[in-house]
Structure 1
Amino acid sequence: MNTDWIAVDWGTSHLRVWAMQGAKVLGCAQSDKGMARIGADGFQTALLDLVENWLKDDPIDVIACGMVGARQGWVEAPYSTVPSQPLPHAPVRVPGTDPRIRAFVIPGLKQLSPPDVMRGEETQIAGFLGTRQNWDGVLCLPGTHTKWVQVSAGEIVSFRTLMTGELFDLLSAQSVLRHSIGEGWDENTFTDAVADTLSKPEQLAARLFGLRAADLLHNQDKGIARARLSGLLIGAELAATRPYWLGQQLAIIGADAVSRVYAAALKQQGAFVETANATEATLAGLALARNMTRQTA
C-alpha cells in the first residue's frame, strides 16, 4: 500500500488505526490496547504491532486523537478552554519515536464551569463541521460518556458529559439487574420508557428495580427489559439536557446502532435530527489536524 499517513483513534479500551492516502482509506486494523491496558512505555509497541506493514524507510506521519493525549498517555496534549474552535492548536509532537514515524497527538478541550473535559470528540466535531459551513446548533455524541455540545460560529461554546452508556453497562452487567437483562429489543418499550423518565425523572431509581421485580413476578422477557433499561436511562439524560436539544438544530455523531436509538428518542419529542457516522467524522477531523502539522512542522 502507498500509505501517505496513518490515522489513529486511541481510546481508553481500544486502539483503531487506518492507513490513509489523502482522504482515502487503504486499510484498517484495531486491538484492545487502549490507554487503560498498557503502561507508559507500551504505546509505541502497541501502535507498531498494528501498522508495521504500512511503514517505509522515510518517516510517515501518525495523527492520533483520544485518551492517548491524557496525562497517563503517550504524550500529554494539554486541554484548550472553551469557547474554542474544535482544533485551536496544532497537535503535539511525540518525542523520541521510532525513526519511521512522526507521531502527533491532538489536544482535548476543557470547560471550567461547570467542570468538564473531552478527548477525541473534538476531532469528530471538527470533521463534522468541516463539511458543513456555518452550521450552528447542538451535537450529541453518544457513547460510554455521551457529550452534548453547543456549537456557534465554528466554536464549541459549552458542553455536558453524561455517563449514560457506562451506567447501562454497569447496571446490566454488575447490578442485581444482570439476572433480568438479556439480548433483544422492543422499540415500543424503549420509547415508552423514554417518555416515562422524561415526565417523571425522579422515579428513575424505583423504575430500575421494577425491571427486576417484573422478571421475578411476571417472567418479563429479557430483551424487553433491555429496551426498557435503555429507555429509562436515555429518558433521564434527555430530561437533564432539555435546554440543549429543545428547539435546536440537532445532529448525532456516533456509531450507527446507538445513533438510531438516540434519534428515535429525540424524534419522539418532536425534534428533527440528522445523523453522521462517527468513524467518518473522526477521519475527517484527523485529516484536518494533519494539515495543521504540515503547516507548522
Structure 2
Amino acid sequence: MNIEWIAVDWGTSHLRAWAMQGERVLDQAASQDGMSRTAGGDFQVALMALIEGWLPANPVDVIACGMVGARQGWVEAPYSAVPSEPIPVVPFRVPNTDPRIRAFVVPGLKQDSPPDVMRGEETQIAGFLSTHQNWDGVICLPGTHTKWAQISAGEAVSFRTFMTGELFDLLRGQSVLRHSIDDGWDEASFTDAVADTLSKPEQLAARLFALRAADLLHGQNKSVARARLSGFLIGAELAAARPYWLGQQLAVIGSEGLTKAYAAALQQQGAFVETADATTTTLAGLAQARTLTRQTA
C-alpha cells in the first residue's frame, strides 16, 4: 500500500485507525485500547500494535483526535476557546515518538461560561463544514456525552454538553432498571416517551421508576422499556437544549442508531434535520488537520 498518512480517532473506550492515501481509505483497524484502558500506560505501544504493519520505509504522519489529547491521554493538547474555528491551530506534536512516525493531536475546544469542553467532536464539526460551505445553524453530536454546537461564519460560537448517553448506560446497566430492559427497540414507545418528557421534564425521575413498576405489575416488554428509557432521557435533553434547536438549521452527526433516534425526536417537533456519518466527518476533519501540519512543516 502507498500510505501517505494515518488517521486516528482515539476515544475513551475505543481506538480506531485508518491507512490513508490523500482522502482515500486504504485499510482500517480498531481495538479496545481507548484512553480509559491506556491512561497511565503506554499509548505508543497501543498505537503501534494497531498500525505497525502499515508503516512505510520513511516516517509517516499520524493525525489523531479525541481523548488521546486529554490530561490523562498521550499528551495534553491545549484547548482553543470559542468562538473559534473548529480546528484553529496546528495540531500539537507528540514529542519523543518512535522514529517511524510523526504524531500530532488535534486540540479540543473550551467554553468558559458556562464551563464546557469537547475533544474529538471539533474534528467532526470541521469535517462537516468542509463539505457545507457558509453553513450556519446548530450541530448535534450524540454520544456518551452529547454536544450541541452553535455554528456561525465557520466558527463554533458556543456549545453545551449533556451526559445523556452515560446516564442511559448507567441506568440500564447498574440501576434497578437493569432487570427490566433488553437489547430490543420499539419505535412507537420511543416517540411517545420523547413527547412525554418534552412536555413534562420535571416528571423524569418518576417516569424512570415507572419502567420498573410496569415490568413487575404488567410484564411490560423489555424492548418497550429500553425504547422508553432512551426516549425519556433524550426528551429531557431536548427540553433543556430547546434554545439550541428551536427554529434553527440542524445537523446531527453520529453513529447510525443514535443519529436516527435524535433525528426522529427532533423531526417529531417539526424540526428540519440533516444527518451525517461520524466516521466520514471525522476523516474529513483529520484531513484538514493534516493540511495544517504540512503547511507549517
Structures share fold, TM-score greater than 0.5 = yes
Separation in 2, partners of 1:242, 1:271: 11
- The residue identity in structure 2 corresponding to 1:162 is F
- The residue identity in structure 1 corresponding to 2:185 is W
Residue in 2 that maps onto 1:56:
56
- 1:211 and 2:211 correspond: yes
Residue in 1 that maps onto 2:158:
158
Residue in 2 that maps onto 1:293:
293
- The residue identity in structure 2 corresponding to 1:141 is L
Separation in 2, partners of 1:40, 1:166: 23
Q: Secondary structure at the match of 2:157?
A: strand
- 1:45 and 2:45 correspond: yes
Residue in 1 that maps onto 2:198:
198
- The residue identity in structure 2 corresponding to 1:82 is V
Residue in 1 that maps onto 2:142:
142
Residue in 1 that maps onto 2:100:
100
Separation in 2, partners of 1:86, 1:40: 28
Q: Deviations over 1:180-200 (max 9, x none)?
A: 011211111110000000000
Separation in 1, partners of 2:3, 2:142: 31
Residue in 2 that maps onto 1:257:
257
Residue in 1 that maps onto 2:11:
11
Residue in 1 that maps onto 2:245:
245
Residue in 2 that maps onto 1:179:
179
Separation in 2, partners of 1:71, 1:166: 20
Separation in 1, partners of 2:95, 2:40: 13
Separation in 2, partners of 1:48, 1:267: 43
- The residue identity in structure 2 corresponding to 1:65 is C
Judged with a 3 Å threshold, the aligned counterparts in structure 2 of structure 1 residues 41 and 226 are, in CA distance, closer, same or farther, namely closer
- The residue identity in structure 2 corresponding to 1:53 is G
Q: Deviations over 1:76-115 (max 9, x none)?
A: 1100100000001000111111111000000000000000
- The residue identity in structure 2 corresponding to 1:293 is T
Separation in 2, partners of 1:166, 1:70: 18
User: Which ranges in structure 1 are unaligned for 5 or more consecutive residues?
Assistant: none
- The residue identity in structure 2 corresponding to 1:115 is P
Q: Deviations over 1:21-48 (max 9, x none)?
A: 0000001000011111114451110000
- 1:114 and 2:114 correspond: yes
Separation in 2, partners of 1:242, 1:66: 27
Q: Secondary structure at the match of 1:117?
A: strand
Residue in 1 that maps onto 2:282:
282
Q: Secondary structure at the match of 1:135?
A: coil
CA RMSD of aligned residues (A): 0.7
Q: Secondary structure at the match of 1:198?
A: helix
Q: Deviation at 1:57? A: 2.1
Paired-residue identity, %: 77
Judged with a 3 Å threshold, the aligned counterparts in structure 2 of structure 1 residues 193 and 19 are, in CA distance, closer, same or farther, namely same
Q: Secondary structure at the match of 1:252?
A: strand
* Structure 1 runs of 4+ with >4 Å offset: none
Judged with a 3 Å threshold, the aligned counterparts in structure 2 of structure 1 residues 287 and 200 are, in CA distance, closer, same or farther, namely same
Separation in 1, partners of 2:250, 2:153: 15
Q: Deviation at 1:168? A: 0.4
Separation in 2, partners of 1:150, 1:46: 35
TM (norm. structure 1) is 0.99
